[in-house]
Amino acid sequence: MNVLLKKEFLESWRSFKFLWIPLIFIFFGVTEPLTNYYMEDILSAVGNMPEGFQMLFPELTAADILAATTGQYQLIGLIVLISAFIGSVSRERQNGTATLLYVRPISAMSVFISKWLIASFVGVLSAVLGYAASMYYTAILFGGVAASGFVKMLLTYCLWLLLVMAVTVAMSAAFQTGIAAAVAIVLLPFGLLIDSAIGGFWIWTPWKLANYGVGFVAGTVEMKDFWLALFVAVVVMISFIVIGIFATKRNWRLTKV
């Protein structure tokens, strides 16, 4: 396991995933508070508004900005993470790299867990840096939030990313890269859109974890709903880890030599 973790870490390091993925999260984390704060000035400068035209903007709070930042991460951030790690297992099978691993006495569990842990580490690191940058400018421009609420929101979102990476790597182990990407996008970003549209009928889906996290900052979270969604998320995450391990073992025969 230690050797495989070092291998996955070096692969992510040499492919600059530790650089460009956090930078994307930081970019959107910084852009959201700055754009909302200076929106009126931006429209006045480039909007070509007629003379005397006025547009009323709602008074935004720090919780609103963090919610908007979370929305960016839930769409663009998830797509970036899925794109970066969807080929972590399947691409090694396709290009024959996995042959160097599978001829050795290693377990499918070690292979899968090492890839999931490093992918999760990159995702969590990116989210922490992105939220830290967002919180810095949000506190300057819109005011601060309770530290305990911010930490709870951050931990909740990090748990959600662990689930996201479990689904992504499991799909990579089960299918070829193209099919795996399609399934992961349907289950995660597209699933979030479906949940936002008709999710009012249920409160326990893992897709609501990020919203519940923002609720800690806004002071609107219902703890009973949160714990139920958290429990379901952990069960789903463990299920996909088990599926990924079995898929890794079953598809060893598909490795190109």
Do 22 and 130 form a contact (C-beta atoms < 8 A)?
yes
Instruction: Enumerate residues 6+ apart whose C-beta is below 8 A from 47.
Output: none
Question: Which residue type is seen at 95?
Answer: N
In a structure prediction context, what are the per-residue pLDDT tens digits for the chain, which is 257 residues long? 888 899 899 999 999 999 999 999 999 999 999 998 887 777 777 666 666 556 666 788 899 999 999 999 998 999 999 999 998 888 877 766 666 676 677 888 998 999 999 999 999 999 999 999 999 999 999 988 999 999 999 999 999 999 999 999 999 888 887 888 888 888 888 888 787 777 667 778 888 899 999 999 988 888 888 999 999 999 999 999 999 999 888 876 666 55
- Confirm if 126 and 103 have CB atoms less than 8 A apart: no
pLDDT given for residue 241 in this prediction? 96
Q: What is the pLDDT of residue 198?
A: 74
